[in-house]
Each structure stands twice: as structure tokens, then as C-alpha cells.
Structure 1
Amino acid sequence: MRAVREKTPGLAAAASTRRSFVTVTGAAAALALTGALTSGDDATAAAAAAAAARVDRRPLFTLGVASGDPLPDTVVIWTRLAPEPLAPFGGMDRGPVEVRWEVSETESFGRIVRRGTATARPEYAHTVHVDVRGLRPWRHYFYRFRVGGQLSPVGRTRTAPAPEDRLTSMTLAFASCQAWFEGFYTAHADLARRDHDVVLFLGDYIYEFGADKGIRPGSGDLHATRQTVTLDEYRERYALYKLDPDLQAAHACAPWIVTMDDHEVVDNWADEIPHPGGPADQFLVRRANGFRAYWEHMPLRLAQRPTGPDMRLHRRLRYGTLVELSILDTRQYRSDQAMGDGIKPPNPGSLDPARTLTGDEQERWLLDGLAASRTRWNVLGQQNAMARLEMVPGPERGVPMDTWDGYAASRDRVLGGAHERGVRNLISLGGDLHRSVASDLKLNFDDPGSATVGTEFVGTSISSGMDGMDHDEDGLTLLAENPHIGYHNVQRGYVSCRITPDEWTSDYRVADRVTTPGGRMSTRARLVVENGRPGIQHA
């Protein structure tokens, strides 16, 4: 969902050939599309050691650390070497650098359980993704990196429990939509102060377009105002966002599980179709650049590394017998938005059973996984609102074509398929709307008396949309026209969840302001779902 009007002209004006869309700096030009890894050898190791000696005195860990995708015996740890984060290659020499890493059971690193070395390569913007193996299930660990005499900040992470562990409780937070130029990351600071076992980020980590204006110092600088098209520009935009200390703190406090939405590439893109329109062949090069920079800057495994404009992001993670998370990708395989996008009445396009939001393969993967699940709670981590969002008051109809409303048959197949398979305790977590919306998921949204087959919590934005308010006109319309919606708010924030075998509790944490530093966070609503009883209850 767009935060402000796009300033920069469209793709055709930005460049005229495929080559123009790919950065022309070093080996990254070719590798942006191939995804190939440089092979290691003695010469490479020697060059990495020499490079480490050269950069020993420069500040390297300016973008912090992160961890992600926890499994019972492994977790990914991440950092990037960037002494000049907003310069090409982060200001690094164009050679490999040897990075040492350590994982400890104590924050003082008195009990180091794993250590090793990794090579930060220039073709990957000197990022490091280490899949640390041999860890114990459901344990907190601390990690750090070292180059020469420099130490990174310390991060804390946690592995997942063993598949058959019977957890009595766990905590997770989920968030999305953090337009840097529209607000300070007050919500991330609050998230970092609270104890969560895992954090889900559901899209719009960056915004690709140039802002006309912004509230932060530096919002008028070129690195914030130009539209991202080349690989270097996407890398620069991630560096800009990751320089924020509150975002760094949120990454360092817990492992993250991430998926992207649209602004990691371009607003409201769909499969191979850019929005606003542009030549499809040029868009695929831009998509490859966006995917490459995304993978480089997220704590993701090599399995998620893109191959050109393709990247598999849908995956499944399990927390003992308590929770199974199905992380979806609702951009890469979707049909084009019906009727040119926007708010439209249900129409032949939005109702066409041949159209899809997830693609056929991902839909089968999702339903097969839900049918096979033996956990208490079955969770969809995805980008959009699944519930119907009637947004026109009175007898006229109007729903957003970019959400599941624009792909009604996809929604019917997923919700109906889950119901037919006897899936219990279905929870959908979404974002993108820049507002909080909690809903009962109905088997038939045209019939308020239809069976409730699940519950949806859509979180607001971290900063996109600036301060917001309790309700706006659209929110009042949503509450009036959609009897399945049980909660709405338009302030900034995130959602903190506590899960037990008996209850799912979602605390909507909101900020009184984000347009100036020092905003205060509070719990605006506490919503509960009981085991075996789908639907929202106010605590």
C-alpha cells in the first residue's frame, strides 16, 4: 500500500534497456541475475585475510546484526560490513573479507558453543549469512561477529523447540510497513524492550519510491528521494533503513521470520506485471535487483537466495505441538489485479475462479500442510487482509482489488479447503493496510450467520501513514459495513501475541505519535481467541 505519492517518473523514463536496470559495479552486475556464488579457494582466503587487515580500523558493523528462521537445531545469523553504508558497496574495498563469528549460551560469551569463519564477499555487498548448526532446541543464544580487532553488537536469538515438545506458552510479535521518511521507529523500540520468542515481519521493509518530503532529518537527501531501480540503489535504501538504532535493536532482540510485499520491488506489482505499468522485460530486471538486495539484507538461508527474478519465500516453521507457521508469498505468483486495481465492486475479474493470489502450487502446499498439521494453532503469516473489507457506505459495494477481496475464489478455496479438512484454530496474520483490523473469517462473507472458520489479526504500520488516529472515515465505514470486523484503529504500532494451548491473545500496541522522537506506546486493545472457538473476543 502506497505511503505517499510517487515522485519519480516510471520505469521507461528511468532506463531504456535491461542493462540500465542492473548495477554496473563489479561482479554484482552479472550476479544480480544469476545468483551464482563465487567459489572459495586458498587465494580467496588469503585475499580475505589481507582485506581484513586493511579495514581493521574502520567502523564496519554500522548496520547491526540479525538472526532468523529458527529451527530446533539451527538459526541464521546475519551482518553486513559497511563503513560508509550509503556509498556503493558500503564503502568497502572490492575484495573478500574474513569474518569470525561466535555463538554463546551467555551474553558475556563465557560459554561459547559454536564459532567459525565466513567470507563477506563484494558480490553480496559484504553481507554474511551463517546457518549455525548443532544448537539445542528452544534455547536462547547470543551471537557476535569479529573482523580484526572490531566486534559487532551482540544479538540474542532463540531456536525453535523440537517438533514433539509440548510448549505451555510462547510469544511472538508481528509488524509491517516502515516508511522511513514518514516516522520514527517508536514501535520497534517498544518491541525490543519486550520479550518475544520470534518476530514476524510481513512486508514493506523498505519503500522503493522517492518521497516528496519526509519528517526525518535527511529526508530530502538524494538517497531518500530517488526511486530505487538498480541493485546499488536498492542496497542503499536497505542501508538507510538499517541505520536506524531502534530497528537494529528490534533485530538484535529476537529471531525474525520475514516475507516481502510490494514495496521491496515496486508498488502493487503482480507476478511479472509492474504497477504503475512499464515494460515487463525491464521490470523483471528490476525485480531481480530488488530480490537480490532483499535477500542480502535479511537473515535468510541460502535456500531463499534468489535466482534472477525468482525467489522461494513460502515456507513452514513449527513450534513444537503448539504453533505451525505457514509463511506465504502473495506477490510473486498472483494474477494481475482486477479492473486496474483500486476499490471496485465485486466483478467478473475478482470473482473469476481461474485467478489466483498465491499460485496453484503454493495453494496446494498450503492446504496440504494445514491438513497434515498436528499443532494446536495453525497460523498464516502473509501480507494482506484475508477478510472482506467493504469500504463503500450504504447499498453500493466496493472492496480493494489488491487484497484477497480481489481474488475471492482464492480466498474461498483456502478458507473452504481448511474447513473441509477440519483445520482447527486457524489464525491469519496480515499487514499492508496501515491500520489495525481484527476480523472473524467467515465461510461465506455474504452471510453473517455463516460459519466462522478462523480469526484474522491485521497489524497497522510501524511508521507508514505518520501518526494516524483512533478512527478515520474509512475505519468507521469498515466497522459499519462489515459485521465480521471486531476491532479497528489507525495509529502506528505492532501486535504482540501470547499463545498457550488454551488461548491466543493479541495485544495491539500503538504509539501516540511517530512524527517526533520519544513517542509513548500503550496497549490499545487486547483480543482473545479460545482454543476450539474461532472468532474474536475482547479481553
Structure 2
Amino acid sequence: MTPVHRNAPGTHSSDLRAAAADFGRRRFLTGTGAAVALAFAVNLPAAGTASAAELDAAKIKSDPFTLGVASGEPRPNGVVLWTRLAPSPYESGSGLPAKRVSVRWEVANDSRFTRVVKHGTVDAHPEFNHAVHIDVSGLDSDRVYYFRFRAGAWISPVGRTRTAPARNARISELRLAAVSCQAYHDGYFTAYRHLAQEDLGVVFHLGDYLYEYAVTAAGGSRNYTDRRLPAHYNRETVTLEDYRLRYALYKSDPDLMAAHAAHPFVVTWDDHETENNYADETPENDVPPEEFLLRRASAYRAYWENQPLRKPQQPDGPDMQLYRRLYFGRLAQFDILDTRQYRSDQAYGDGWQTPGPESEDPSRTLTGGTQERWLLDGWKNSRSTWNVVPQQVTFSQRRSLPTPDFKLSMDSWDGYPASRQRLMDGAEAAGLDNLMVLTGDVHVANAYDLKKDWNDPDSRTLGTEIVATSISSGKDGSDKPSNYDTYLQANPHMKFYNGRRGYVTVTLGDDQARADFRTVSAVTTPNAPISTAGSFVTEAGDPGLKPV
């Protein structure tokens, strides 16, 4: 996350303010000219996706499965399977003509596919950059399956996935991982190679799957000596083609492909999938609102194309509903949030600021009213042992100093304290004994107790927050960042702080949850080993983190 400096209120011209009114997100698609501009910008299919001519898959002369395979959104009776055909992934169009391609898919009980249980054929359409999303149903609950794709004579790598337990099933344990922030230009995705070897039921990606920043021919800090990346990567992503090519670069990483092939993913975005620190319709920089909404529509479209998401998550222009709810038996309810698309603009121009009337305005929201009500209603109706909230930015209070002149991050929940308090009050009113927030964004590993009163360390603990460090963002990092002692002193509810790269695994059980912070020694050089930097448990019915 990079600090930004927005223009102060009132510095926009009257023409720009008028444009903002004319091109508000929900009115953007109602004007004929805007709709045409948007359709042109994101290549929306006009008369149905079957309109393109068909390409004989036998004419594909090189491997189209260069981006691997993935699965996601596990439910008791099915999962989403994903791949994208890209014989030349670093080229515009990925080496395929603007024709649809027939793709066969198979799901089996074994990795050799001697017992195929589901199969079918689907078209990969050029309008969706030849991405394939298969929403498979009719599978057994809580079971491992294997899947693959075929296009002509080409067969994809084999993927492994797992369905969720039945909604009312009594399961004793679920082991998951949380990951975030994978800047390609900051280093290798070595942590994913280790993650692929873990025994997991599901992986939650908490945002910043890619970064919009330029990547040099040498791959930035990867410092390639045996290959050169095309020049078009050495610029910021703005157009649909830019975002599509950037996903191709990221998804061609062998460690990321290994993780996707090994586990089902549940994804949510943060800011860099579009632009650093944007807030709803407000961009990072002073550009016309219609220009930013076109960029956002392109980014959202490319995100959906390249993730194992269901049809309800397909974007409608610059809008995409990403918040959703998943269940794993009676053990866990997961409420996946989107804290980027509906938020009020960051207070005081963003960055780290002294809190005051602007940031503490009760009308400010990080989730938007509709999503907030959806979350609170879900908690009221929850019968799960654990209520887990995978989301993006730090939820707990995080003071910069232990003195009265402390500052808070206006991009995190600290910049929206009234919004946070409504959720804390709602969780307490719903009687949630075991609330756990999963967080990304900050490129460090943290563990927090969620306090009823942040200013009183002895106040009641209402839950826990587990912050996953980055996969690569921030480069190698260190075990104890320069502000280590200051942060721990300023925030007594912070129980763990580590600045290395990696991920966190969480084991949910009937009696307790355990978090293991897994870190690699380096990402600027490949193949670093992994170790456990810290482990904590929180007991069911008795929130609060205890070191193991």
C-alpha cells in the first residue's frame, strides 16, 4: 500500500463536479453515449456470446493451458472450475483469433481419471478472453476431486479441489490458509510453492492479487538474467487489455499455478486490482470520473475473467457484487467482504493522519449500507461455531505511537471508526462468541484481540483478528520491522508482529482455533525455505489469543 495525496475538498472545477454528478456509478449505464463508450472499452458481447465463429481446436499448435487451472467457491455439492486458453499469454489476444473454442472438462475421483464422475463441453469465448468457468454441481460433500480440461489434442494440468461439508454436518476440524498482496515486481511467489504442499480445505485470498504498477523487462526485483518481459508490461495498467496481460503475467508464475492446482480458492479484491487506494467512485488521482469508471469496469471485467468465480459475480460495467457467504458444516460461516467498492472517500486526504471530526463522522462507511445490513443480518441468523470474516484492511485500532500525538491509517478501519463500531455492536448483540477477522493489505503478519474499548486493554475481548503477511509485496522484509517495539507498545491488543513474507494457516476446531504464521526467508531470490514464525490459539467461547 502506497501513501497518496488527494486534492483537498473544493479544488475540483465546476465542470468536473458536474461530470461527477452526470456519471455517478449507478447512472453511468443509463445514458446511451456512456453505455456505448463502456461497451467499447470493455468489449462487452452485444448479441450473445455464441455469436463468434468457432475455431477448430485441432488448429491450436501450441499448449493453450499456459496459465494452469484453478478451482474455487466450494459448496457442499460443487465447485467452480477455471482455466483460460492462452497459447501466447504475453501477447494481445493470447495467441488465439477472435473465435470461440470448444473445451471439454472432466471431474474424477482419482488423479488418473479412471473414475470420471462429471464431464461436459463448454465454449471459451473471445469476449471473455477465452476464459472458462464451470459451475459443477451434483458432487458429494466434503470430498476431494480431481479435474482437467482438453482443447483439441491439448490436455491441461490436473487440478485438485474439495467440496465443502454439508450445511448441517458436524465436522471437527477445518484447516484453511489466508494469503494476500503478491507484487510480481517485488519478488518470487515462493510461499505459494510451500502452500501447495499444505493439507488445506480452502485458501482465502484477501486482496491485491496483482498490482497495477509497471514491471520492468527483468521482472523488477526478480532480476531475470535468462529472460526478458515484453515492453508493454513496463507501464501502469489502465485498459482492459492492460489488465488482461497483467493477469497473464501473474498467472504464468509456476508457484502460483501450483497453489491454484492444489486447493480451491475464495477470492476478494482490495485496491491494486484496479488502482491504489481508490474509494468507490473516487480515484487515487484527479482524473474525470467517467475515465476512472471506465478503468474500473475494465479492471473488474479482467478480475472476473481470471478468477474461479460464479455467474452472480460477473460484473455489470463498473459494478460487481463480490461480498458473499459460504458455510463449512456447522463449524464455520464465512462472510467475505468488499471494503473497496462502496466506501466513503478516505478522510483528510488519506494516509496516516490525526483522527478528528472528519474521520469520526458517523455517516462514514467502509462497507456501504447494504453490505453492512447483510453482514449484521447474517450474524443474527448464524448457528455456526466460528464466524469468520475474510476482508482486506486492518480492522483493529493501530496507533502509530504510544503517545497522545499518535496517527491512524485513514485507509483502514481506523479511518471509519463509526462503521467499525456498528459491526462490533452488531456482533455483540448477535451473541457471537467466536468472531474472527482475516485481513491482508499491510505486508506484515499481525495477531490482535478485538477489544470492546480500544483505549482500555482490560476491556472485554470480543474476537480476534489474524493478519496474513504478503506473498511478495515489500520484498524480503524482516522479522522485526523498524517500528516493531513502537507498535507493540502503542497497541497492547497486538499480540504478534512479523515483517517477513508468507501466509497464515488457521485450524478451526470445536474447542479452539489455531493460527500458524508461515514465513519465507527471502523472495528476491527463489526457492527460500519456510518456517513457522509464531503460533497462537483462541478458545471457543473465550476469545483472546494465547501463544503456543
Q: TM-score, normalised by structure 2?
A: 0.91
Point out the more displaced range, 408-417 or 31-40: 31-40
- Give runs of aligned pairs for residues 476-487 of structure 1, distance below 5 A: 476-487=485-496
How far is the alpha carbon of 1:269 from its aligned partner? 0.3
> SS in structure 1 opposite 2:196?
helix
Change (3 A) 1:321 1:37: farther
Matched, 1:471 2:476: no
> SS in structure 2 opposite 1:205?
coil
Give the structure 1 partner of residue 2 of structure 2. 2
Matched, 1:312 2:321: yes
Partner amino acid, structure 2, of 1:214: G
Equivalent of residue 302 in structure 1, options 279, 302, 311: 311
What is the rounded CA distance, in whole Å, between the counterparts of 2:408 and 2:69 in structure 1?
40
> SS in structure 1 opposite 2:257?
helix
Q: Unmatched 5+ residue regions in structure 1?
A: 6-17, 19-26
How far is the alpha carbon of 1:231 from its aligned partner? 0.3
What is the rounded CA distance, in whole Å, between the counterparts of 2:330 and 2:337 in structure 1?
21
Equivalent of residue 529 in structure 2, options 511, 520, 529: 520
Task: Note the alpha carbon deviations across 1:474-515, whole angstroms, 9 max, x for none.
Answer: 232211100100000000000011111111111100001111
What is the rounded CA distance, in whole Å, between the counterparts of 1:123 and 1:373 in structure 2?
40
Partner amino acid, structure 1, of 2:292: F
Matched, 1:214 2:220: yes
Task: Note the alpha carbon deviations across 1:460-486, whole angstroms, 9 max, x for none.
Answer: 100000100011122322111001000
What is the rounded CA distance, in whole Å, between the counterparts of 1:28 and 1:206 in structure 2?
26
Q: Unmatched 5+ residue regions in structure 2?
A: 6-22, 24-35
> SS in structure 1 opposite 2:207?
coil
How far is the alpha carbon of 1:2 from its aligned partner? 3.0
How far is the alpha carbon of 1:279 from its aligned partner? 1.7
Q: Is the 8 A contact 1:28 1:124 kept in 2?
A: no
Give the structure 1 partner of residue 152 of structure 2. 148
Q: Is the 8 A contact 1:343 1:400 kept in 2?
A: yes
Equivalent of residue 390 in structure 2, options 368, 371, 381: 381
What is the rounded CA distance, in whole Å, between the counterparts of 2:46 and 2:509 in structure 1?
42
Q: Is the 8 A contact 2:109 2:144 kept in 1?
A: yes
Equivalent of residue 272 in structure 2, options 263, 277, 283: 263
Q: Is the 8 A contact 1:204 1:260 kept in 2?
A: yes
Equivalent of residue 54 in structure 1, options 48, 56, 59: 59
What is the rounded CA distance, in whole Å, between the counterparts of 1:363 and 1:458 in structure 2?
21
- Give runs of aligned pairs for residues 440-519 of structure 1, distance below 5 A: 440-519=449-528
Give the structure 2 partner of residue 167 of structure 1. 171
How far is the alpha carbon of 1:318 from its aligned partner? 0.1
What is the rounded CA distance, in whole Å, between the counterparts of 2:3 and 2:146 in structure 1?
36
How far is the alpha carbon of 1:33 from its aligned partner? 5.0
How far is the alpha carbon of 1:404 from its aligned partner? 0.2
Q: TM-score, normalised by structure 1?
A: 0.92
Matched, 1:95 2:99: yes
Q: Is the 8 A contact 1:209 1:228 kept in 2?
A: yes
Q: Is the 8 A contact 1:162 1:320 kept in 2?
A: yes
Partner amino acid, structure 2, of 1:402: D
Give the structure 2 partner of residue 125 of structure 1. 129
Task: Note the alpha carbon deviations across 1:61-88, whole angstroms, 9 max, x for none.
Answer: 0000000001111110000000110111
What is the rounded CA distance, in whole Å, between the counterparts of 1:127 and 1:164 in structure 2?
34
Give the structure 2 partner of residue 225 of structure 1. 234
Equivalent of residue 423 in structure 2, options 392, 414, 421: 414
Change (3 A) 1:3 1:214: farther
Partner amino acid, structure 2, of 1:77: L
Q: Identity rate of aligned residues, in percent? A: 50
How far is the alpha carbon of 1:426 from its aligned partner? 0.1
Q: Is the 8 A contact 1:175 1:495 kept in 2?
A: yes
> SS in structure 2 opposite 1:361?
helix
What is the rounded CA distance, in whole Å, between the counterparts of 2:3 and 2:126 in structure 1?
33
Change (3 A) 1:261 1:31: same
> SS in structure 2 opposite 1:537?
strand
Task: Note the alpha carbon deviations across 1:371-394, whole angstroms, 9 max, x for none.
Answer: 111010000000011000101343
How far is the alpha carbon of 1:140 from its aligned partner? 0.6
Give the structure 2 partner of residue 22 of structure 1. none
Partner amino acid, structure 1, of 2:502: G
Point out the more displaced range, 324-333 or 472-481: 472-481
Partner amino acid, structure 1, of 2:74: P
Change (3 A) 1:304 1:407: same
Q: Is the 8 A contact 1:162 1:319 kept in 2?
A: yes
Change (3 A) 1:223 1:162: same
Give the structure 2 partner of residue 23 of structure 1. none
What is the rounded CA distance, in whole Å, between the counterparts of 1:353 and 1:535 in structure 2?
28
> SS in structure 1 opposite 2:389?
strand
Give the structure 1 partner of residue 29 of structure 2. none
What is the rounded CA distance, in whole Å, between the counterparts of 2:37 and 2:143 in structure 1?
37
> SS in structure 1 opposite 2:220?
coil
Number of corresponding residues: 514
Change (3 A) 1:471 1:129: same
Equivalent of residue 372 in structure 2, options 363, 366, 370: 363
> SS in structure 2 opposite 1:193?
coil
Give the structure 2 partner of residue 538 of structure 1. 547
Partner amino acid, structure 1, of 2:341: Q
Give the structure 2 partner of residue 236 of structure 1. 245
Partner amino acid, structure 2, of 1:264: E
Change (3 A) 1:221 1:394: farther
Give the structure 1 partner of residue 287 of structure 2. 278
Q: Is the 8 A contact 1:3 1:179 kept in 2?
A: no
Q: Is the 8 A contact 2:184 2:250 kept in 1?
A: yes
